[in-house]
Structure 1
Amino acid sequence: MAFDGIVLSRVTHQLSELLTTGRISKIYNISRYELLMTVRAHNTNHKLLISIHPMYARIQITHLNYPTPEVPNALTMLLRKHMDGAFIEKIEQIGLDRIVKMTIKGRNEFKDLVTYYIYIEIMGKHSNFVLTYEDGKIIECLKRVSPSESTRILQPGIYYELPPLIPKKNPFTSYYTPSDNLVKVYEGFSKDLSNEMLYRIEAHQMFDTVMSEIAQSNHLYISTFKDKEYYHVIPLTYLGTDYQEYELFDGLDAYYDSKDTKDRIKQQTNDLARFIRKEYDKNVNKLNKLEKTLFDSQNSDDYRIKGDLLYASLPLIKKGMTSITVDNYYDGTKMTIALDERFDGKTNANRYYNKYQKAKNSLKVLKEQIALTKEEINYFDTLNTLIENANYYDAIEIKEELENLGYLRKKGKEKIRKKKGEPHYQTFRTKDDIIIYVGKNNLQNDYVTFKKARKTDYWFHVKDMPGSHVIVHSDALDEYTIRLAAKIAAYYSKGKNSSSVPVNYCQVKSLKKPTGNKPGLVLLGHYKTIYMDPDDTFFNEIKKG
C-alpha cells in the first residue's frame, strides 16, 4: 500500500505544524467515504480531506476543489454540532501505524469546554473515522461496524479501543541487521519501501542514512512503471524509471485526483444513472409491445374475413360450438374459425367485426405512440451517454433537466450555477489559442450552441448518435483544428470506443432549434462530415481554458 506508516509519519508531521491551534469549520460529508473541512490556522485557511476509501484512504491538506452537498446529511449535522468551531490541540500518529489521533477542544450545548478525540484509521477496507468523547465513548463513525461484521465493534455509545497492533521496531531509532525482514520487523514499512531500502543497501547506502533522508523529506516522488504509478517520500529508484517531485500534499493531490474522481462521481450520481437506465429499458420494452400490437392491427383484415364467413354460414352455427370449418370464398380454401360457445353465429360474427374495427381505429394512435416512444428512447440513450462522461455538476444539471421535464420530482433548489448563471460547460484552448466549448449535458449543449456561440463559430457533433455539442470559437478553421474538434466530439459521444466515427460540422448559423422538443436537439442545414478514430490523445494538445 502506497500510503504506509512512514508516509503517514511525514503527513502527520506537516499536519501538526500547519494545523495545530487551528479552528475547524465548514464540515462536509462529500461522499460515502470522505469528509472535507476547513481549518483556519496561522491566518490561513486549509482544506483538510479525510478519506476512508478502501483503495484510496488517506488524510491530507488538499488544494483541489471538491463539490460539496448543498443540503447536509444527518452525519454532517452531528459532526458540525460537536466539531464546528473546535480548536485542534494536537495531531499525533499512533507509533508508526496507520492511525492518526487528533485532540480537539470545543464547547457543548451548555457552552462548557470539552475535549474530543478523532481517530483516523487508514487500513484498507477496514479504514474508518471515529469521533469520541474524552472518556473514549464513541459519538459517531463514518463507517459503523456491527457485531455481525467484526469482533471489534464501532458504534455510537461503545467505548473506542485501538485495533490490535503488532509490536515492531521503530526504524528511526533501531539498529538494522541484514537478516531483518523489513516489513515484518519495522513499523510503517510497506513492500515498496522495503524494496527501495534493500536496493539502496545493495548499492552500499546505510540504513540509517536512508531513514534520515525520509525523516527530513517534505516531498512526494511519483514514478510510473509498467503503466502503474508508485509514490513515496523518497524516490523509488529500484523501479529504474524517472520520477516527478512534488511538495508532499501537492503530490498526494496529483496521485489521487484522477484515481478517486470517477469513484466519487459514481457514488454521487449512481441513483441518477440507475433512473436513466431504467427509463431507457422501460421504453425499449414498451416499443416492442407497441410494434407487436401494430403488426397485429395491420393484419386486422383477418378479423373482417372471419366475420364475413361466419355471416355466410349462420345456419350451420349453433350455441355450444367451439369452432367451425367453412369454405373461404376469398381464396378458395378451407378456414377453421374459433367460436365462443356461449353465443350464436351472429354474435360471434359481430365479435370479429368489433375486433376488426378496434384494430383499425388503433392504427393511428399506435403509430403516434411508437413515434413518441422512439423519441423517449433516443432521449434517454443520449442521457446514458452524457452521464458516463459527467462530473458532479454535469450530473446535477442532468437531474435539473429531468426535474424540469417532469421525470423527477423536485426536492429543493440546488445552487449549481456560476455567478453569471451559466451551466458548467467545459472550456479548452488549443495551441493556436482557439477556444473550444464542450457541452457535457443537454442544458450545456443548448447553452454553448445557442447562447454562448456566435453565428460564425463552428459546431461539431457525431452523426446519428448521442454526444456532446462542441463549439469552436473561430470564423475560419484549418485542417488541424477541424480534426481536433472532431476528435473531441467523437470522444465525448456514444461512439467513444468505436472507430471511424462520423462527425458532422457546420457554422452555428446553419443550425435551428426545433420548437417544443427536448433540450439538446438541433436541426442542421448545410454541413460537412469527417470520420475520426476517438482517443484521448487530444488532451495533450489542449489546455483547460
Structure 2
Amino acid sequence: MLTASDVAEVLTEISPLLRGGWIQKIQQPTDRTLVLDVRVPGQTHRLLISCHPDFARLHITTRSSTNPQTPPPFCQFLRAHFQGAKIDDIRQVGNDRIVELQITGREGAHAIVCELTGNKANILVLDAGGRVLRDLSRHHPTGQAYTSPPQRNSHHETTPSRFAGRVAGKLPVSEAIDAYYCEQEATQTIDRIKQERLRALKKMLKREQRLIEAWRNDLSKATAYRDYARYGELIKANLGAIMKGTDHVEMTDYFDDRLPHITIPLDPMKSPQRNMDDYFRKHRKYLAAERELKPRIERAVHGIERLCQEITYIEQGTWTPPAMPLAHSNKATTVRAISKGPLATDRRRGPFRRFISTDGLLIFVGRNARENDELTFGLAKSDDLWLHARGTPGSHVVVRLSKGTDPPSETLRDAAMLALLYSDFKKSGKGDVIYTRRKWVKKAKGQAQGAIVVTQDKSLHVSLDKNRLEALKSRGS
C-alpha cells in the first residue's frame, strides 16, 4: 500500500495537472476502484482511485478499464451529482494517507475523501458542512459529521517514497505506481486462479475416484455372469425335460471335453423358458459391462493421472494459467499459457468448444443439437451458468461455477458474447441473450434433440465486440 510519503510525491506530481479540471466521465470498473476522466485545456487525464485493502492507491493512469454493464450504485450517485463538476483542489490531509478532492458542481461545493489506509481504505462523499453523503464501504452513517481515521506513526512522514525516481517519463511517480500495482494485481489474479483450479481439480479427482470404484464394483458383479451363456444353452438343449417348479437341474456339460455333470440353479417360480432367458440376459449384461466399463475405467484412470499431475504442478509452483488479459490493460499484456501440459490436454479433451473467460473460468459451447443436449443435460451441473440467444437457433453455453457462487460480470459478458456469436444473431451482430442456472433448464417433451424449456431467466443485450472475441478465441480450443 502507499505510504504517506508516496501520497505526497504523487500529489506533488498530479495536483497541478488536475486542479481546475472538469470531471467528464466517472467509472467504477470494480467494486473498490474509481476512474475519473478529468478534462483540462488540451488534454484529458484519467485519475484512478482504489480503496482495495491490498492495492489502495491514487494516481494518473493511461490504462483502459472494462466496466460492468450496469454501473454500481456508488458510481451512479457520483455521475448524478458530480459529472461535469470542477476540481478546485486536490490535497493530502494531515500528512497521512488521505487525499481530499474539493469539487464544485451544480449543487455547490463538495468533497471526495480517499482514505488509502489498507484494510480500512474507503472513499466518501462529503457535503459543504463535512457531513457524509455517501460511503463506498458503508462504514459511516449518512448525515454524520466526518472524522478522519487515526493517523499512523509519524515516521512514515519522513520515509522516502518508494516510487520517486524509478521511472523516467512525463509522470514518473504515477507511472511507477501504476506499473507496480498492475503487476501486484496480476500476481494476485494468478494466485486466485491457481487456488480455484486446485479446488476444482481436487473435486474432480474425488468424483472420478468414486466413479471408478462404482464401475469396478459393477464390473465385478457382472463377471459372475461369465458362464451364464453356457448355462442357457444347456437348459435350451434340455428344455423339454425340465419340470416347472424345480429349483435346479443336473445335466452333462457338453461344453467341457471331460463331460462332467453340473448342477444349474433354477427359479422355481419361473418356467424353464424364463429361466433360460434370464441366463442369456445376464450373460448379455456381462458382455456389455466388459465392452463398456473396461474402456471407461481405463480412460478414467488416465484422466486421474492427468489430474494428479496438474495438482502436482500447482503445488510445486510450476503450473501456468491459460492466457488471459490483465486488469486495466490497454495493450497485449497477458499471462502466457503453457503450450503443453495437463491444462492444455484437459481443454482439448472431449466435445464442445472451450474457452477461458477474462476471470479464468471455463466456458463450454455446444457445436450442434447433439452437443447442446449433452452439454446441458450431461456435463453441466445444477448451479452452473447457462446461456442461449433469445428466440433464435444457436449454441448452448455453460460456465462452470462453484456451488454458491455468482458469475463475475466479465465472465457473464464473455459467455453472452459467445452465445451471440454462435447463433443466428451473428449476422446482425447484436441481440438478447438469456441466462440462468442450469437447474432451471428442462428438456422440451416431444421436441427435437437440444430443444429446451427455461422456467426462470434473465436477459442481457449484447453487441459483438471484436476485441473481446479475439481475446476469447486466443484462449479457446
Alignment TM class, shorter chain as reference: 0.5 to 0.7
What amino acid sits opposite 1:444 in the alignment?
S
TM-score, normalised by the number of residues in structure 1: 0.48
- Call closer, same or farther: CA 1:120–1:287 in 2, change over 3 Å: same
- Provide, for residues 42-66 of structure 1, a one-character-per-residue CA deviation record: whole Å limited to 9, x for no partner: 3311111112222221111113344
| Separation of aligned partners in 1, 2:117 and 2:264 | 76
State the alpha-carbon separation in 1 of the partners of residues 35 and 217 from structure 2. 55
Query: Please, which of 248, 251, 256 is the counterpart of residue 176 of structure 2?
Result: 251
Deviation by residue 1:305-351 (Cα, 9 ceiling, x = unmatched): 565688889979969x8xx89899577798997x9897677656544
> What's the counterpart of residue 15 of structure 2?
16
Residues 249-282 of structure 1, C-alpha deviation per residue, up to 9 Å, x if partnerless? 1221232222222335777x89996998699669
Deviations 1:398-454, CA, capped at 9 Å, x for gaps: 879634653426354365424xx9724xxxxxxxxxxxxxxxx6x227xxxxxxxxx
Percent of counterpart pairs with the same letter? 21
Whole-angstrom distance in 2 between the partners of 1:341 and 1:78: 82
Shift of 1:87: 2.0
In structure 2, what is the Cα distance between the partners aligned to 1:99 and 1:335?
Answer: 92
**Distance (whole Å) between structure 1 residues aligned to residue 268 and residue 129 of structure 2:** 84
With over 3 angstroms needed to count, the CA separation of the structure-2 counterparts of 1:368 and 1:21, relative to structure 1, is: farther
Which residue of structure 1 lines up, in the alignment, with residue 378 of structure 2?
none
In structure 2, the partner of 1:162 is 147
Q: CA deviation at 1:29?
A: 2.3
Q: From the superposition, tell whether residues 386 and 359 of structure 1 become closer, same or farther in structure 2 (CA, over 3 Å).
A: farther
Q: Distance in 2 between matches of 1:139 and 1:99?
A: 18
Contact 2:245 2:269 in 1 (8 A): no
Gaps of 5+ in 1: 108-112, 145-152, 167-182, 197-219, 221-230, 236-242, 425-440, 446-518, 521-545
Amino acid corresponding to residue 423 of structure 1 in structure 2: E
Q: Distance in 2 between matches of 1:328 and 1:15?
A: 102
Aligned equivalents of 1:270, 1:115: Cα separation in 2: 47
2:187 aligns with 262
Alpha-carbon distance in structure 1 between the residues aligned to 2:84 and 2:48: 17
Alignment match, 2:53: 54
Deviations 1:441-476 (A, max 9, x none): 6x227xxxxxxxxxxxxxxxxxxxxxxxxxxxxxxx
Residues 305 and 161 from structure 1, CA distance in 2 versus in 1: closer, same or farther, beyond 3 angstroms? farther
Instruction: Find the partner of 1:117 among 94, 111, 120.
Output: 111
Residue 23 of structure 1 deviates from its aligned partner by 1.8
Amino acid at match of 1:16: S
Q: What is the correspondence of 1:192-271 to structure 2 with a 5 Å cutoff?
A: 193=159, 231-233=162-164, 247-263=172-188
Match among 283, 305, 325 for residue 356 of structure 1: 283
Partner of 1:212: none
Residue aligned with 1:301, SS? coil
Against the structure 1 CA distance between its residues 88 and 372, is the aligned structure 2 distance closer, same or farther, given a 3 Å change threshold? farther
Which residue matches 2:466?
417
Match for 2:176: what amino acid? G
**Following the alignment from structure 2 to structure 1, what is the Cα–Cα distance between the partners of residues 235 and 63?**
80
For 1:127-138, what aligned pairs fall within 5 Å after superposition?
127-136=121-130, 138=132
Distance in 1, Cα, partners of 2:134 & 2:190 = 25
Tell me the amino acid that sits aligned with residue 417 of structure 1.
K
CA RMSD between the two structures: 5.3
The 1:279/1:17 distance shift into structure 2, 3 A limit, reads same
User: Contact conserved, 1:100 with 1:120, CA < 8 A, in 2?
Assistant: yes
* Separation in 2, partners of 1:139, 1:343: 84
Q: Would you say the 8 A contact 1:297–1:360 is kept in 2? A: no
* Structure 1 contact 33–52 (Cα < 8 Å) conserved: yes
Query: What is the Cα deviation at residue 133 of structure 1?
Result: 3.9
CA distance in 1, matches of 2:44, 2:13: 15
- CA gap of 1:79–1:404, structure 2 versus 1, over 3 A, is farther
Is the contact between residue 216 and residue 297 of structure 2 (CA under 8 Å) also seen in structure 1? no
Verify: 1:444 aligned to 2:443, yes or no. no
In structure 1, what is the Cα distance between the partners aligned to 2:295 and 2:73? 47
Cα offsets for 1:192-219 (capped at 9, x unmatched): x2xx7xxxxxxxxxxxxxxxxxxxxxxx
- Asked if residue 390 in structure 1 is aligned to residue 324 in structure 2, the reply is yes
C-alpha separation in 2, matches of 1:264 and 1:367: 41
- Kept after mapping to 2: 8 A contact 1:340/1:348: yes
Aligned partner letter, 1:79 = L
The answer as to whether partners of 2:226 and 2:286 remain within 8 angstroms in 1 is no
Given the superposition, is the C-alpha separation of residues 350 and 44 from structure 1 closer, same or farther in structure 2, using an over 3 Å criterion? same
Quick check: 1:188 aligned with 2:157? yes
Q: Deviations over 1:367-411 (max 9, x none)?
A: 9988999999999999x9885442259844787963465342635
Preserved contact between residue 231 and residue 264 of structure 2 (Cα < 8 Å): no
Does the C-alpha gap of structure 1 residues 315 and 102 become closer, same or farther in structure 2, counting only changes over 3 Å?
same
Cα distance in structure 2, aligned partners of 1:403 and 1:65? 29
- 1:6 and 2:5 are equivalent in the alignment: yes
User: Could you say which residue in structure 1 is the equivalent of 2:27?
Assistant: 28
Give distance in 2, aligned partners of 1:370 and 1:310. 34
Higher RCO (CA-CA < 8 Å; seq separation 6+)? 2
Separation of aligned partners in 1, 2:263 and 2:75: 75
Code of the aligned partner of 1:261: A
How many angstroms apart in 1 are the aligned matches of 2:200 and 2:463?
Answer: 20
Aligned partner of residue 25 in structure 1, secondary structure: strand
Q: How far is the alpha carbon of 1:95 from its aligned partner?
A: 0.4
Aligned pairs, how many?
Answer: 345
Aligned residues of 1:28 and 1:69 also touching (Cα < 8 A): no
AA aligned opposite 1:402: F
Provide the rounded CA distance (Å) in 2 between the counterparts of 1:120 and 1:262.
25
Query: In 2, are the aligned partners of 1:280 and 1:376 still within 8 Å (CA)?
Result: no
Change (3 A) 1:66 1:289: farther
- In the alignment, is the contact (CA less than 8 A) between 1:93 and 1:100 conserved in 2? yes
Contact 1:272–1:399, Cα closer than 8 Å, also in 2: no
TM-score by length of 2: 0.54
Inter-CA distance 303–125: structure 2 relative to 1 (3 Å threshold) = farther
- What is the match of residue 88 of structure 1? 87
